[in-house]
Amino acid sequence: MNLLWGGLVNSDGTASGKSAVLVGLLTEAYAYSASHPEYDSFATNAVGLMSDHLLKDNALRHAFIEGLKPGMPYELVVYGAAQSGRDARFVVRLDTDTDRSIDANTTKVGDATTDAIEGPHPLTEGADYVRISFTPNAVQDTLWIEYLSDADADIAVLNGLQLAALGTDLRLTPGDDGSLVLSWENGASYNVMTNTDLMNGEWGVSVSNAVSPVTNAIPGLPKLFYTIDE
């Protein structure tokens, strides 16, 4: 069964424009109560996150995130509550769709395993979550996440996914004709935004869907601020 999350939101609650597909059985979603003997082994500062999970048990399970921006560098954080007998391996690929077919259009971008810490502990990278960085291209704009058991575990869990666009550095170079050249390296297109006063927060679009480099005439203003935005 596929479960579509069509309205993924940003950390501030606004729409992200991305969707996620979870491939598995709805009967494999679990939550531990405080009375469960393993409850005290969850990360003490993230119990709510780590005690709810999707379970992989003798069958491979997948999650997909669609609608990624080509050329934009991303960092994926995958949460999996590692416990005794419950280490999790996450294999992450870029693909063209969600057909779960490894072919010429599929590229592996990460392969990481959590390693259990026994007893109470704070949220710990490598034990409770892993980080994987990647940059989609114009063809491979779907992220394919497999969660499966490592060689020593009979089951594996997926507690959560966190995806962050890392952005890019904007460079400003004066042109020979008195213009200003804006450039960036990741190959993505952005809206070039300007503002005359950072205190008012009113940014206007100077160039829509621009590709680096962009040449702008410098207006007769005492100051003008530039940024790029999706």
Per the listing, tokens 């996450």 go with 90
The class of domain 2-165 in CATH terms is mainly beta
Extents of the domains making up the chain: 2-165, 171-229
State residue 222's pLDDT score.
Answer: 77
State residue 109's pLDDT score.
Answer: 92
State residue 92's pLDDT score.
Answer: 93
State residue 21's pLDDT score.
Answer: 65
State residue 104's pLDDT score.
Answer: 80
pLDDT tens for the chain, 230 residues long, are 344 445 566 766 676 666 666 665 444 666 666 666 566 677 778 777 777 767 766 566 788 888 888 878 888 998 887 665 667 788 999 998 777 777 888 899 999 988 878 788 888 888 888 999 998 887 888 888 888 876 656 667 788 888 887 767 778 888 777 788 888 876 778 888 888 888 777 888 888 888 888 888 877 777 788 888 87
State residue 9's pLDDT score.
Answer: 66
Structure tokens at 91: 């294999």
- pTM equals 0.68
